Amino acid sequence: MNTQLNRNFNTYFIESRFISVAVAIVVVLMRFLMFTKRGLDESPINDSNFVWNSIEPLLQSFPTLSFAASTLSIFFVAFLISEINNRFGIIRMRTSMPFYIPLIVFSLHPQFLRFTPDFPALILVLLSVFPLLGTYQTHKTNRPIFQFSALLAMASLFQIYAILLIPVWIIALKALSEVNFRSLLASIFGISVVYWIAFAFYVFADNIPGFVAPICNLIEIYDFTQIPNFSVPQWGFISTFVFIVLYFIIVDNRQIVRERSFTKKALYLSMSIIIVSLLLHVLFLSHTIFWIYVAIAFLTIIIAHFYTNVTSYQVIYSFAVFIVLMIFYMVINTFTELSPF
């Protein structure tokens, strides 16, 4: 019986390409239903970016355009996560989970219906992973470090906080290959090229304060002398989210120890990014939710790896519970306003 359960799970939920098509259709329909029922979140976009002020008025005038752009963005995010897995063989088995799990997770809340600067910033962060992982066991790191530094700098034009990931990427580079003085110069050059172009536009527009304003957000951290003003349901939601993150990190770690060296490093990198992102979210609490986007994206890699390498029927049942909870939360956010956030 358990063997048959494993076989069916592998056939219909791991290896099947039809599941991706089915989930994609359901996600589009549920997002459209949530959009018609709830509309778009009207929370203001902060000034922690260089380019969004010229884009946001158009999106506010055409909410459908914002919804369509966000929907395309989650598909692109899912595609990139799937490509990272396929390109570098992080999950050795054939699996569709790296594609369809992000589609589900990034459609759970009305916040994801609106096209915000978090989406293009996240896409550029994921693109920067390709040159980073491509440095594994190579001594020619100057070009990749220039590429991922430039991509993260471009991401910071949409969300200035993305620039804080460059030290994390350089530390990861040290684990994957090697870092030398020339590599650090390449990183600085990659950042400088992007920011010099951005600075030139602000100079020609005679708006130097506009260039400085987003950078100032990096020093505006949360006042930890005050306890966050969350309600009891909100604290419960936060605790549940942290529990889910820790659960998947802990249980997947048992699978990771049996993986080959590169897979271990790639997955431990994902875990590190999740933890760093959540810590940075606390540091910039109430200023941005960009770090939640980053943490969720890399968490889906961990979730996909864990469930693809499943060997027990208890874990298969936990996958069923996980999916049901996600659908239940999506339905709540579609038809009610009971969600704490």
Q: What does the DSSP assignment read for 57-110?
A: HHHHH-HHHHHHHHHHHHHHHHHHHHHHHHHHTSS-S--SHHHHHHHHHTTSSG
- 49 contacts 158 by C-beta, under 8 angstroms: yes
Predicted local confidence at residue 225, as pLDDT: 83
pTM of the complete model beyond 0.75: yes
| Cα 21 to Cα 6: distance, rounded to the nearest angstrom | 22
Q: Give the mean model confidence (pLDDT) for residues 323-329.
A: 93
| Cα 30 to Cα 36: distance, rounded to the nearest angstrom | 10
Measured at the CA of 14, the angle between CA 13 and CA 16, to 5 degrees, comes to 75
Q: Between the CA of residue 80 and those of 126, 168, 206, 251, what are the distances in Å?
A: 7, 20, 38, 24
Q: Is 203 a residue whose pLDDT tops 80? A: yes
Q: Is 259 a residue whose pLDDT tops 70? A: yes
pLDDT digits 0-9 by tens, 102-116: 999 999 999 999 999
| Cα 43 to Cα 47: distance, rounded to the nearest angstrom | 13
Predicted local confidence at residue 2, as pLDDT: 66
- The region of weakest confidence among 123-127, 146-150, 241-245, 336-340 is 336-340
| 149 closest CA partner among 119, 193, 196, 118 | 193
Measured at the CA of 42, the angle between CA 58 and CA 79, to 5 degrees, comes to 70
- Sign of dihedral through CA atoms 126, 128, 131, 132? negative
Predicted local confidence at residue 6, as pLDDT: 86
| 193 closest CA partner among 151, 159, 160, 165 | 151
Q: What is the mean pLDDT of the chain?
A: 92
Tokens 């992000």 correspond to 102
Of the pLDDT bands very low, low, confident and very high (cuts 50, 70, 90), residue 270 is: very high
Q: Is 1 a residue whose pLDDT tops 60? A: no
Q: Which residues, 6+ apart, have CB-to-CB distance to 209 below 8 Å?
A: none
Measured at the CA of 158, the angle between CA 155 and CA 159, to 5 degrees, comes to 80
